[in-house]
């Protein structure tokens, strides 16, 4: 197998016949699996309520405040994060209402979603080099780095990039929850030269992007978030109106893997194309700046990774 000068393996090479593993006959079809999943059973209750605010264009500051304050643990988490070094506020924030006043509706909404998603990862699970909490660290890191990329490129929808980065591997979370035995088999099968989502397709008949996006649509997540979930490994197929958000998350996902902050540690990574970097206006110098700032920025946001 040949590699490019950057050491990455081409997608064409990853589609060779060696990937043709037998499908797991016990695995349900994608449509069967999605039909069994409902919001209430799959998500922490508070996240269900927060997503209701996210999905409601007419939602007010009071709506978000009421949802967050209805969960003492989430309230504490959001306030600790707001008062951390990540935001560098001069005055201590004592209430969710104050937090929204200082940071804005969308930022506090993102923090609330982050806090509620964290509940899913409280129970650790290890398969080889895969750690469930390692996936959580990867999701937070991709969200933070994605926002760095968007800001560096001067893109106005950096909050959409953060949300997309946080939820881009929703399909992996759901496979772990709802198809656990088959998920374990896939993770065990992935080797250093394998591309994880291609192994999923061969063994399950679908991949985590397809699965996650269908569920995200049924949950009525924002369209840009659904696009990120569906196309973060195949960004050239993303709808044009959401493509830059997807590109930012794809670049962030790749940079995090290069920093060894991976969702699935085993397996090869396909680098974003030059067209992706050009489309968002991220030049070589910009990549260098973002790369150098990743560790200090993640350290500033370390509290987000706490479970």
pLDDT reading at 157 higher than 60: yes
52 against 214, higher pLDDT:
214
Those residues with Cβ within 8 angstroms of residue 91's Cβ, 6 or more apart along the chain or in another chain: none
Give, in order, the Cα–Cα distances in Å from 213 to each of 43, 65, 209, 303, 306: 16, 28, 6, 28, 26
Q: Confidence class of residue 12 from pLDDT cuts 50, 70 and 90? A: very low
Report the chain's mean pLDDT, rounded to a whole number.
Answer: 85
Task: Give residue 230's pLDDT.
Answer: 98
Range 162-167 average pLDDT? 96
Question: Which range among 30-34, 123-127, 174-178 shows the weakest confidence by mean pLDDT?
Answer: 30-34
- How far apart CA 49 and CA 55 sit, in angstroms, is 10
Domains of the chain (ranges plus CATH)?
1-36+124-307 (1.10.3210.10), 40-122 (no CATH)
State the alpha helices, DSSP H only, in the chain. Answer: 11-14, 30-36, 39-42, 45-54, 61-69, 72-82, 96-103, 105-118, 132-152, 158-167, 170-178, 180-189, 196-204, 208-218, 223-231, 243-258, 274-280, 284-300
What percent of the chain is predicted at pLDDT more than 70?
Answer: 88
127: phi then psi, degrees, rounded to nearest 5:
-130, 105
Task: Give residue 193's pLDDT.
Answer: 84
Which pLDDT tens digit goes with each residue over 281-306? 999 999 999 999 999 999 998 888 88
Task: Give residue 21's pLDDT.
Answer: 55
pLDDT reading at 243 higher than 80: yes
Q: What is the radius of gyration, based on Cα positions, of the chain?
A: 19
Which pLDDT tens digit goes with each residue over 192-220? 788 999 999 999 999 999 999 998 888 88
Q: Confidence class of residue 177 from pLDDT cuts 50, 70 and 90? A: confident
Q: 132 and 300 in contact (C-beta within 8 Å)?
A: no
Q: Confidence class of residue 4 from pLDDT cuts 50, 70 and 90? A: very low
Q: Confidence class of residue 38 from pLDDT cuts 50, 70 and 90? A: low
pTM assigned to the model: 0.84
Give the three-class secondary structure for 131.
Answer: strand
Q: Confidence class of residue 43 from pLDDT cuts 50, 70 and 90? A: low
Q: Confidence class of residue 42 from pLDDT cuts 50, 70 and 90? A: low
Q: Confidence class of residue 247 from pLDDT cuts 50, 70 and 90? A: very high
Residue carrying the six token digits 């589609």: 15
Those residues with Cβ within 8 angstroms of residue 19's Cβ, 6 or more apart along the chain or in another chain: 194, 198, 199, 202
């Amino acid at each position: 197998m040949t590699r490019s000068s950057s050491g990455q393996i081409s997608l064409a090479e990853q589609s060779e016949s060696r990937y043709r593993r037998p499908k797991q006959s016990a695995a349900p079809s994608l449509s069967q699996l999605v039909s069994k999943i409902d919001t209430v059973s799959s998500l922490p209750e508070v996240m269900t309520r927060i997503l209701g605010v996210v999905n409601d264009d007419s939602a007010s500051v009071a709506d978000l405040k009421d949802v967050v304050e209805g969960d003492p643990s989430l309230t504490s988490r959001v306030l600790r994060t707001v008062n951390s070094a990540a935001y560098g506020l001069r005055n201590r924030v004592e209430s969710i209402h104050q937090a929204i006043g200082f940071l804005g509706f969308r930022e506090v909404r993102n923090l609330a979603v982050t806090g509620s998603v964290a509940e899913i990862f409280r129970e650790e699970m290890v398969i080889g080099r895969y750690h469930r909490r390692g996936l959580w660290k990867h999701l937070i890191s991709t969200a933070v780095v994605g926002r760095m990329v968007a800001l560096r490129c001067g893109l106005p929808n950096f909050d959409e990039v953060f949300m997309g980065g946080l939820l881009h591997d929703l399909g992996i979370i759901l496979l772990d929850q709802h198809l656990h035995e088959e998920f374990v088999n896939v993770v065990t099968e992935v080797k250093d030269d394998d591309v994880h989502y291609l192994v999923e397709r061969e063994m399950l008949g679908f991949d985590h992007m397809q699965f996650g996006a269908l569920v995200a649509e049924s949950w009525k997540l924002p369209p840009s978030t659904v696009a990120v979930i569906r196309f973060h490994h195949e960004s050239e197929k993303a709808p044009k109106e959401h493509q830059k958000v997807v590109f930012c998350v794809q670049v962030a996902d790749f940079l995090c893997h290069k920093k060894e902050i991976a969702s699935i540690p085993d397996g090869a990574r396909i680098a974003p194309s030059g067209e992706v970097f050009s489309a968002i206006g991220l030049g070589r110098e910009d990549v260098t700046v973002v790369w150098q700032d990743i560790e200090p920025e993640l350290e500033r946001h370390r509290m987000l990774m706490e479970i």
